[in-house]
Amino acid sequence: MDTIETYRNYLEKLMIERANRIWDKRITAQTIFDRERDHYQLVYVGWQESRRVYGVVLHADIIEGKIWIQEDGTEAGLANQLVELGVPKDHIVLGFDPPKLRDLTDFAVG
């Protein structure tokens, strides 16, 4: 299996696992996968009493062979989980970090 296909499978697997851990039955965890354009998201949608719950929990893209993590609202950290699966750190960009600070991490800068 080629690298991009492996990355697609990893992102989908990790987001589905996270979606299955929803703690509140009033909230739906939606996974949104666009394999053609390589966009992957996990979104929470629902209501808690009269309060609307909506937000992107995880968002990752595959751009030029690297995984760009655009949003990560998890404690475990998507980047850490990807490294545990064998993705090299230089293939992961923390897109939510300002570009000038990315070289201070062990991950790719772009």
What is the pTM for the complete model shown?
Answer: 0.93
pLDDT of residue 110: 87
Question: pLDDT tens digits, residue range 9-18?
Answer: 999 999 999 9
pLDDT digits (tens, 9 = 90+) for 34-76: 999 999 999 999 999 999 999 999 999 999 999 999 999 999 8
From CA 104, how far away is CA 98, in angstroms rounded? 11
Q: For position 1, what pLDDT does the model report?
A: 63
Strands (E), 1-110: 27-34, 39-48, 51-63, 66-72, 92-94
Provide the 8-state DSSP code for 101.
Answer: G
